[in-house]
Chains A and B, each alone.
Chain A
Amino acid sequence: MEWDWEFVREIMPMLLDGLRITLLATLLGSILAAAAGLGFALLRRSKNRAVTRITGFVVEFIRGTPLLVQLYFLFYVLPELGLLLSPLTAGVVGLGLHYATYTSEVFRAGIDNTPRGQWEAAKACNLTPYQTWRHVILPQAIPPMIPALANYFVAMFKETPLLSAITVIELMSEARGVANSNYRYLEPMTMVGVLFLCISLIAVPALHLLERRFRPPR
């Protein structure tokens, strides 16, 4: 088997189309993972025991089951219950919720690290609980978490090929498509690896930059 540059040139536009979807799914999934993760973390701190327990159960349940199974459930089972999601929507929801269970731990740790004195000062300033979160706690707690969150987003990026299982035409399924119709797997699969590697290689220095930027000033 010989490497065929001509074939690579031919399939590149399709692969790049796939990469676009991969990046889109990662971006939307990351936003959802951050928002839902913060939501889980806040719910787990609720004073209402029932809320804490149910949230804890949901988080453990999602974390304890494979992402692939969750994707199948969202895309193939939910329609039978009357909720039809497009492949990309189901994929983003699956990725986002799955990683939200991990980011919620990052948020929890970050929030717990905020000194008790900050809560007390906010109370002495007579801020409401909402104002305390919005103006005092989260602006301090979130910056140190950013590197850890970004780590999860990179991990999520590398799991996007799973979305091909629910017919999202991302990088991996584009590659499999051209490979199957041309009976050549060497170039498409190699290029998938190379493209993933390129993005990851960009992400690593970006992560280091974030870590330096948000390193706590102590």
Chain B
Amino acid sequence: MTDTIIDIDRVTKRYGSHTVLQDLCFSVRPGEKLALIGPSGSGKTTILRTLMTLETIESGTIRIDGEPLFQMERNGSLVPADEAHLHRMRTKIGMVFQLFNLFPHKCVLDNVTLAPMLTKGVRKADAERRAMELLDLVGLADKARAMPAQLSGGQKQRVAIARALALQPRIMLFDEVTSALDPELVEEVLSVMRMLGSTTDMTMLLVTHEMSFAHDFADRVLFFDRGRIVEEGPPDVLFTNPTHERTQAFLKKIIAAGQRI
């Protein structure tokens, strides 16, 4: 139990009659960097959203640190989680979104300090000092007083990363964080993530279409298709020598579209 931080066991998720995740099983070790790749609609984003409790599941169990995410123990038996349990579980997890989702009515600094002040009762001065450190880390200390609308996409996404880090999660979820960016802004976000990957022991799950980044960054790559894991392995193996034909076809398409791996 203790050697996994995330344990996903036979998880099924449907939207109406459409099955998004089908009896999905995998686990993640603490500190592991995991890349989830695959065609759109294969369910990889849904997994991140489910871990963040933005979605519910129909069946199966997800355990974080050995503790069920959507259930809790009461009088020796498991019952559906209440809001307090979900709140406690969410403290372990942070998420960065494709479309940034910064709070547009708050300046950069307030975007980063809001959650620590409200959810952890951190004093304003302490929250701001910590936020400035994080903004410095992502290279945006000089934008602390700017409004989100004044920032480029790459800058917004770096603020969003700082905002997620401010809550000191043990698990960080990155959901296609460069997909909405202009090509010339992708690298500044990737380099922040690369730095996080090499300097922290956070567990990181990323859904991405940047294959060469996934190759360099991840300890392990999962290839998804139609709600299942088709193939998984270390990036060197999966990218250079995939065994499954659907993985081969997917990577061929990616290369044909002009990406290096």
Contact = CB atoms under 8 A, between A and B. Distances in A.
A217 B103 CA distance: 14
Interface string B78-114: 0000010001001101110101011111000000001
Contacts of A64: none
B101 A117 contact: yes
B97 A123 contact: no
B191 to A, nearest CB: 23
Contact of B103 (A118, A123, A126, A128): A118
Given A121-B97, A121-B101, A127 B119 contact: yes
Contacts of B91: 126
B125 to A, nearest CB: 19
Among B53, B93, B118, the most chain A Cβ lie within 10 Å of the Cβ of B118
Contacts of A139: 105
Contacts of A123: 52-54, 90
A136 interface: yes
A136 B110 CA distance: 12
Contacts of A190: none
B115 A125 contact: yes
Nearest to B103: A136
B149 interface: yes
B163 interface: yes
Given A139-B105, A140-B105, A124 B118 contact: no
Residue in A121, A123, A131, A217 with the greatest tally of chain B CB atoms within 10 Å: A121
A120 B103 contact: no
B52 A124 contact: yes
A208 interface: no
B218 interface: no
> How many B residues are at the interface, by size bracket?
20 to 34
Contacts of A184: none
Name the residue among A115, A124, A125 with the largest chain B CB count within 10 angstroms.
A124
B69 interface: no
B106 to A, nearest CB: 8
Interface string A7-42: 000000000000000000000000000000000000
A121 B103 contact: yes
Interface in A108-156: 115, 117-118, 120-121, 123-128, 131, 135-136, 139-140
Contacts of A128: 83, 87
B164 interface: yes
A118 B119 CA distance: 17
Nearest to B92: A126
Nearest to B116: A125
Contacts of A136: 103
Contacts of B114: 125, 127, 135
Contact of B119 (A121, A125, A140, A217): A125
A102 B216 CA distance: 57
Contacts of B87: 126, 128
A140 B104 contact: yes
Contacts of A217: 149
Given A117-B97, A120-B97, A124-B52, 8 more contacts: A121-B103, A124-B90, A124-B95, A124-B101, A126-B87, A126-B91, A139-B105, A217-B149
17 contacts: A117-B97, A118-B103, A120-B54, A121-B97, A121-B102, A124-B93, A124-B94, A124-B95, A124-B101, A125-B163, A125-B167, A126-B87, A126-B115, A126-B119, A139-B105, A140-B104, A217-B149
Interface of B: 52-54, 83, 87, 90-91, 93-95, 97, 99, 101-105, 114-115, 118-119, 149, 163-164, 167
Interface of A: 115, 117-118, 120-121, 123-128, 131, 135-136, 139-140, 217
